[in-house]
């Protein structure tokens, strides 16, 4: 029975614990990426002239092969969860920061004109007008970051970070189709679900905050 | 000496990544064109492209093993599975985002379906296709390291051997050339992009 | 004042007195400096030269934010915040000012009623759930929320289709009476200018070409551009073919000279006329004006004592020559006679608004 085989792999390779571990690393990495990404987007918004150099460096990091980036981190922080999280954040800053920045600066000029004409302060306009209107954009950036993060957390499994990448590595090394299928399809489903949820949130933010 | 040791993996890496990239281009662009004319194919291609985009690369590489085994060709397949998606997606978006009025007027001029694709849709899609290929090239460069896990050889082998033997130099000798290739690719694609800009998006009919 | 943007002189040494309570129109071609003028009044931008004073106070001495909170601003693109409901949009400034929820709700209700939007239906909708005309009404309501004494409106109806524009203009005329504010109103549309404006300033290349009442502009256009804009020529062509009888207001009732002033006032107010024909015992005719009667009602007893000698016109006289004669005699109305009996009145002010 297929179900028995799945159950056997699931139990023998502790996939429940692995999944929890995986999602735990994922969540920490994503939250860190959101905080750092939004902050960088905001800082660049305040100091526009830093936008080109910051974005081109982030862009360069983005082109690095993920494994090469993990290798570069070994001399600095070794292997395991920490470098995995750092790599996730490094890759995810660009989409989040870029979308935050774009969202903040692309508020339509007449809204800003009216806001100023009403006597709203710049600070108020930033927090209560620009930010909410940038939400759909920021959510779009986070959605991209979710895909990146999911991919790198899985990859982290071969650099000692645990999670669902670890059983996949075992499966490949032992050439064990059962492990590969169960762990591979499971992590694929998780990724698609998370992406789907993010897509749903993004769409509803667009409906709620999007311009007409 | 060192350069000799590195040369073979670099060449293997480039052959691996760019064979896969070329096949992806050769498959992806026609598929996107076909998707224009079949609603079912379009739904299928776009949905699976979107879903697959989310799946972690390691899972894709792993699942290739039980299906077609290990070695160079399974690695190529794994890379194609990744690189195909951005190409199909971008090509389709570029092809289908032509102003319907322009299509209508081209039909009015008596252009055939194929001529409309050749002279109207494709020129409109060039910038998007180019961006898709750029993305796919960088992705292929990245996945080609990981495929060393399934016996593709190349720079990834140095990384994984280094990782197993806790040999930092060996790992870096795999990672650094790969980063170099990535930066070179990015820079040269950007350079080509800038040169293309004045002509991009202009229909040859005008 | 003057405002430059790099090489362009957007506003070129204009000088403008805005009278409290009036609706002043700024009209002119694209790029003539209308918006720039408005934006200097609420200090969204500062003039390069010159000063602006409100009630004698130089606005540079007032904090920009405080100033703008006291000046309503309405623009063509409306600029409702898409992420806030109608209630939140209108109630934004009161919320910042720390009003209570009940106060805000009652103010929003009041304003939505004023602009003809049923509050219970619209309060909790988002801007994109409203039509363009409805959005523009909310824009006006939002500008009025802090009850600012001055209102700046930049082509508020410019994006609406002609029918809706006309409807909003009609409503706005009503609202304008209710709110009694000083309004500076920018438009491209000369008909709108004539319908709404107490005075009209015509702008061209950053300067004011002419400033005056609609009547001044039509009868005394400063130059060819103004006459083209207000369509004086067209109007005159039309007028040339008309006679006095075409445009007079029929004399509905004739008041007897002995009638007490108070009763005459009541009669006129009831019939809605501001000018009435008065007959004395000797069957001579005079004209009574409502404002004069109101002014002098305590000094005089009968209507006759408060009348003016009329300027007589005959039915078949050409309208144009009649107007010219009246102007020469500085008469503000004419009494049209037929067979020795008053047939009607010719009122140039009313005539212009009817012709336009
Ligand atoms: N922020 C700015 N920067 C540079 N030039 C400006 C700016 N604002 C206005 N101008 C220029 O100043 C001139 C007057 O502009 P303004 O917006 O006042 O015209 P307007 O009369 O409101 O025109 P419209 O009817 O098209 O709205 C124009 O030549 C315009 O290009
Ligand atoms: Mg303007």
Say whether pLDDT at B198 is over 70: no
Percent of chain C scoring above 90 in pLDDT: 39
Say whether pLDDT at C100 is over 50: yes
pLDDT of residue B5: 76
Beta carbon of C32 within 6 Å of any ligand 1 atom: yes
Residue-wise pLDDT for B123-138, tens only, equals 888 999 999 999 999 9
Residues, beta carbon < 5 Å, ion ligand 2: C 35
What distance in angstroms lies between residue C230's CA and the mean position of ligand 2's atoms?
20
Residue-wise pLDDT for A94-128, tens only, equals 999 999 999 999 999 999 999 999 999 999 999 99
Q: Give, for ligand 1, the residue of C11, C34, C75, C229 to mutate: max count of ligand atoms closer than 8 Å to Cβ.
A: C34
- Smallest Cβ distance to B56: which of A59, A65, A191? A191
pLDDT of residue B2: 58
User: Between chains, do A118 and C68 touch, taking CB under 8 Å as contact?
Assistant: yes
In degrees and rounded to multiples of 5, residue B203 shows phi and psi of -70, 140
Beta carbon of C31 within 6 Å of any ligand 1 atom: yes
DSSP C58: E
In this structure, how many other beta carbons lie within 10 angstroms of the beta carbon of residue B76? 22
pLDDT of residue A117: 93
* Closest by CA position to B142, among listed B12, B17, B20, B28: B17
Q: Say how many CA atoms lie within 13 Å of C267 toward its Cβ.
A: 19
Question: A74 contacts in B (CB within 8 Å)?
Answer: 168, 171
DSSP C7: T
Say whether pLDDT at A211 is over 60: no
| Residues with Cβ within 8 Å of residue A82, at least 6 apart in sequence | none
- Counted residue by residue, chain A has a size of 212
- Residue C176: C-alpha distances to residues B118, C21, C101, C140 (Å): 61, 10, 27, 11
What is the C-alpha to C-alpha distance for residues A22 and C192, in angstroms, rounded to an integer? 67
Beta carbon of C30 within 6 Å of any ligand 1 atom: yes
Beta carbon of C149 within 6 Å of any ligand 1 atom: no
Whether A85 contacts B178, CB under 8 Å = no
Residue in A119, A130, A207 to test binding to C, most C beta-carbons within 10 Å: A119
pLDDT of residue C235: 67
Whether A106 contacts C57, CB under 8 Å = no
pLDDT of residue B202: 44
Residue-wise pLDDT for C120-170, tens only, equals 999 999 998 999 889 999 999 999 999 999 999 999 998 888 888 888 898
Which residue of chain C is at minimal alpha-carbon distance from A114? C79
pLDDT of residue C237: 66
User: Between chains, do A65 and B53 touch, taking CB under 8 Å as contact?
Assistant: no
Nearest ligand 1 atom to the CA of C37 is: 18
Beta carbon of C5 within 6 Å of any ligand 1 atom: yes
Q: Give, for ligand 1, the residue of C2, C25, C33 to mutate: max count of ligand atoms closer than 8 Å to Cβ.
A: C33
Question: A120 contacts in C (CB within 8 Å)?
Answer: 65, 92, 96
pLDDT of residue C266: 84
Q: What is the 3-state secondary structure (H, E, C) of chain B?
A: CHHHHHHHHHHHHHHHHHHHHHHHHHHHHHHHHHHHHCHHHHHHHHHHHHHHHHCCHHHHHHHHHHHHCCCHHHHHHHHHHHHHHHHHHHHHHHHHCCCHHHHHHHHHCCCCHHHHHHHHHHHHHHHHHHHHHHHHHHHHHHHHHHHHHHCCCCHHHHHHHHHHCCCHHHHHHHHHHHHHHHHHHHHHHHHHHHHHCCCCCCCCCC
Question: B53 contacts in A (CB within 8 Å)?
Answer: 147, 195
Question: C142 contacts in A (CB within 8 Å)?
Answer: 118
**H or E, element range at C344:** strand C341-346
Residue-wise pLDDT for A57-78, tens only, equals 999 999 999 999 999 999 999 9
- Counted residue by residue, chain C has a size of 356
Say whether pLDDT at B113 is over 70: yes
DSSP C145: T
Question: B176 contacts in A (CB within 8 Å)?
Answer: 68
Residue-wise pLDDT for C176-225, tens only, equals 888 889 999 999 888 889 889 999 999 999 999 999 988 788 878 888 88
Residue-wise pLDDT for B13-29, tens only, equals 999 999 999 999 999 99
SS3 at position C146: coil
Residue-wise pLDDT for B25-81, tens only, equals 999 999 999 888 888 888 888 888 888 889 999 999 999 999 999 999 999 999 999
What is the C-alpha to C-alpha distance for residues A118 and C69, in angstroms, rounded to an integer? 5
Is some CB atom of chain A closer than 8 A to the CB atom of C272? no
Residue-wise pLDDT for A4-30, tens only, equals 888 888 988 889 999 999 999 999 999
In the block, residue with structure tokens 């007897």: C256
* Closest by CA position to C25, among listed C174, C172, C155: C155
Residue identifier of the C-alpha nearest atom 2 of ligand 1: C5
Whether A85 contacts A32, CB under 8 Å = yes
Whether A68 contacts B144, CB under 8 Å = no
| B100-116 average pLDDT score | 86
Go through C45-63 and write b for each residue having 16 or more CB atoms within 10 A of its CB, e for each that does not.
Answer: bebeeeebebeeeebeeee
In this structure, how many other beta carbons lie within 10 angstroms of the beta carbon of residue C15? 9
pTM of the full predicted structure?
A: 0.80
| C282-311 average pLDDT score | 82
Four-residue CA torsion sign, B140, B145, B148, B152: positive
Q: What is the 3-state secondary structure (H, E, C) of chain A?
A: CHHHHHHHHHHHCCHHHHHHHHHHHHHHHHHHHHHHHHHHHHHHHHCHHHHHHHHHHHHHHHHCCHHHHHHHHHHHHCCCHHHHHHHHHHHHHHHHHHHHHHHHHCCCHHHHHHHHHCCCCHHHHHHHHHHHHHHHHHHHHHHHHHHHHHHHHHHHHHHCCCCCHHHHHHHHHHCCHHHHHHHHHHHHHHHHHHHHHHHHHHHHHHHHHCCC
pLDDT of residue C236: 67
SS3 at position C333: coil
Residue identifier of the C-alpha nearest atom 16 of ligand 1: C33
Question: A5 contacts in B (CB within 8 Å)?
Answer: none
Which residue of chain C is at minimal alpha-carbon distance from A136? C83
What is the C-alpha to C-alpha distance for residues A73 and A161, in angstroms, rounded to an integer? 13
**H or E, element range at C222:** none
Order across the sheet with C334-338: list the strands. C249-250, C341-346, C334-338, C312-314
* Closest by CA position to A111, among listed B97, C175, B23, C82: C82
Q: Minimal Cα–Cα distance from C147 to chain A, Å?
A: 12
Q: Tell me the DSSP string of C98-131.
A: T--HHHHHHHHHHHHHHTT--HHHHTT--GGGS-
Task: Band the pLDDT of B201: cuts 50, 70, 90.
Answer: very low
What is the C-alpha to C-alpha distance for residues C150 and C153, in angstroms, rounded to an integer? 10
Say whether pLDDT at B200 is over 70: no
Is some CB atom of chain A closer than 8 A to the CB atom of C355? no
pLDDT of residue B42: 87
| Residues with Cβ within 8 Å of residue B46, at least 6 apart in sequence | B35, B88, B89, B92
* Closest by CA position to C82, among listed A123, A99, A110, A140: A110
Cα angle: C139, vertex C141, C143; to 5 degrees: 70
What is the C-alpha to C-alpha distance for residues A63 and A77, in angstroms, rounded to an integer? 21
Nearest ligand 1 atom to the CA of C188 is: 25
Residue-wise pLDDT for A129-186, tens only, equals 999 999 999 999 999 999 999 999 999 999 999 899 999 999 999 999 999 999 999 9
- Smallest Cβ distance to A113: which of C75, C93, C127? C75
To the nearest 10°, the Cα dihedral for C2, C7, C8, C11?
Answer: 0
The two three-digit tokens of residue C2, written as one number: 């003057």
Say whether pLDDT at C313 is over 80: yes
Whether A93 contacts C65, CB under 8 Å = no
Say whether pLDDT at B1 is over 60: no
pLDDT of residue B54: 92
Task: Band the pLDDT of B204: cuts 50, 70, 90.
Answer: very low
Q: Minimal Cα–Cα distance from B102 to chain A, Å?
A: 26
Beta carbon of C214 within 6 Å of any ligand 1 atom: no
C30: left (phi over 0), alpha (psi -120 to 50) or beta: beta
Residue identifier of the C-alpha nearest atom 24 of ligand 1: C30
In this structure, how many other beta carbons lie within 10 angstroms of the beta carbon of residue B195? 10
- Smallest Cβ distance to A180: which of B53, B62, B168? B62
User: Between chains, do B51 and A192 touch, taking CB under 8 Å as contact?
Assistant: yes
Ligand nearest to the CA of C75: 2
Say whether pLDDT at C233 is over 70: no
């Amino acid at each position: 029975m297929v179900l028995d085989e799945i159950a056997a792999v699931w139990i023998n390779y502790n996939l429940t614990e692995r999944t929890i571990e995986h999602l735990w690393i994922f969540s920490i990495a994503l939250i860190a990426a959101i905080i750092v990404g939004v902050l960088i987007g905001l800082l660049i918004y305040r100091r526009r002239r830093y936008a080109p150099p910051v974005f081109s460096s982030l862009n360069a990091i983005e082109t690095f092969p993920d494994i090469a980036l993990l290798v570069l981190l070994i001399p600095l922080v070794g292997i395991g969860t920490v470098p995995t999280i750092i790599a996730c954040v490094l890759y995810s800053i660009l989409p989040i920061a870029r979308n935050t920045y774009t969202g903040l600066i692309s508020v339509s000029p007449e809204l800003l004109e009216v806001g100023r004409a009403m006597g709203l302060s710049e600070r108020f306009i930033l927090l209560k007008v620009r930010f909410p209107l940038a939400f759909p954009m920021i959510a779009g950036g986070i959605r991209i970051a979710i895909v990146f993060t999911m991919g790198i957390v899985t990859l982290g499994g071969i650099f000692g970070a645990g999670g669902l990448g670890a059983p996949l590595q075992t499966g490949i090394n032992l050439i064990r189709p059962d492990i590969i299928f169960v762990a591979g399809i499971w992590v694929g489903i998780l990724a698609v679900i998370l992406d789907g949820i993010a897509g749903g949130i993004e769409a509803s933010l667009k409906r709620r905050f999007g311009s007409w | 000496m060192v350069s000799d040791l590195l040369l073979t993996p670099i060449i293997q890496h480039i052959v691996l990544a760019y064979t896969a990239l070329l096949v992806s281009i050769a498959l992806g662009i026609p598929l996107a064109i076909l998707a224009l004319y079949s609603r079912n194919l379009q739904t299928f291609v776009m949905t699976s492209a979107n879903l697959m985009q989310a799946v972690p690369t390691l899972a894709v590489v792993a699942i290739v093993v039980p299906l077609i085994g290990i070695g160079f060709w399974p690695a190529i397949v794994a890379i194609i599975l990744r690189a195909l998606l951005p190409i199909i997606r971008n090509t389709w978006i570029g092809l289908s985002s032509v102003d319907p009025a322009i299509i209508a007027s081209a039909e009015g001029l008596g252009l055939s379906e194929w001529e409309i694709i050749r002279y109207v849709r494709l020129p409109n899609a060039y910038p998007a296709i180019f961006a898709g290929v750029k993305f796919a090239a960088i992705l292929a460069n990245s996945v080609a390291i990981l495929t060393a896990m399934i016996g593709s050889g190349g720079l990834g082998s140095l990384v994984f051997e280094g990782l197993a033997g806790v040999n930092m130099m060996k790992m870096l000798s795999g990672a650094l050339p790969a980063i170099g290739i990535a930066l070179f690719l990015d820079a040269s694609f950007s350079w080509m992009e800038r040169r293309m800009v004045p002509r991009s998006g202009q229909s040859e009919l005008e | 004042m003057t405002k430059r943007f790099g090489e362009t002189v957007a506003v070129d040494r204009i000088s403008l007195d805005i009278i409290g309570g009036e609706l002043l129109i700024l009209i002119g071609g694209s790029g003539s400096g209308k918006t720039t003028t408005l934006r200097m009044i609420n200090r969204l931008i500062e003039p390069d030269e010159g000063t602006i004073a409100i009630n004698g106070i130089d606005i540079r001495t007032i904090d920009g934010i405080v100033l703008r909170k006291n000046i309503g601003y309405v623009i063509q693109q409306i600029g409702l915040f898409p992420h806030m409901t109608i209630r939140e949009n209108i109630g934004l400034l009161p919320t910042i000012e720390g009003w209570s929820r009940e106060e805000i709700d009652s103010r929003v209700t009041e304003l939505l009623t004023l602009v003809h939007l049923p509050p219970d239906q619209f309060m909790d909708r988002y801007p994109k759930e409203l039509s363009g005309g409805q959005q523009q009404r909310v824009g006006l309501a939002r500008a009025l929320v802090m009850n600012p004494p001055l209102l700046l409106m930049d082509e508020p109806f410019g994006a609406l289709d002609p029918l809706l524009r006309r409807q909003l203009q009609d409503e706005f005329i009503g609202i304008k009476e209710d709110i009694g504010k000083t309004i500076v109103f920018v438009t491209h549309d000369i008909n709108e200018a004539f319908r709404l404006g107490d005075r009209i300033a015509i702008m061209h290349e950053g300067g004011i070409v002419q400033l005056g009442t609609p009547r001044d502009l039509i009868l005394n256009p400063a130059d060819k551009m103004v006459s083209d804009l207000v369509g004086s020529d067209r109007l005159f062509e039309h007028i040339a073919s008309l006679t006095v009888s075409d445009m007079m207001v029929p004399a509905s009732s004739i008041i007897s000279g002995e009638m007490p002033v108070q009763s005459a006032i009541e009669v006129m107010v009831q019939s809605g006329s501001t000018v009435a024909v008065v007959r004395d015992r000797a069957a001579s005719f005079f004209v009574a004006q409502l404002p004069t009667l109101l002014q002098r009602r305590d000094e005089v007893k009968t209507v006759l004592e408060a009348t003016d000698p009329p300027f007589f016109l005959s039915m078949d006289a050409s309208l144009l020559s009649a107007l010219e004669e009246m102007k020469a005699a500085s008469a503000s109305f004419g009494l049209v006679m037929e067979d020795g009996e008053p047939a009607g009145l010719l009122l140039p002010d009313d005539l212009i608004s009817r012709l336009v």
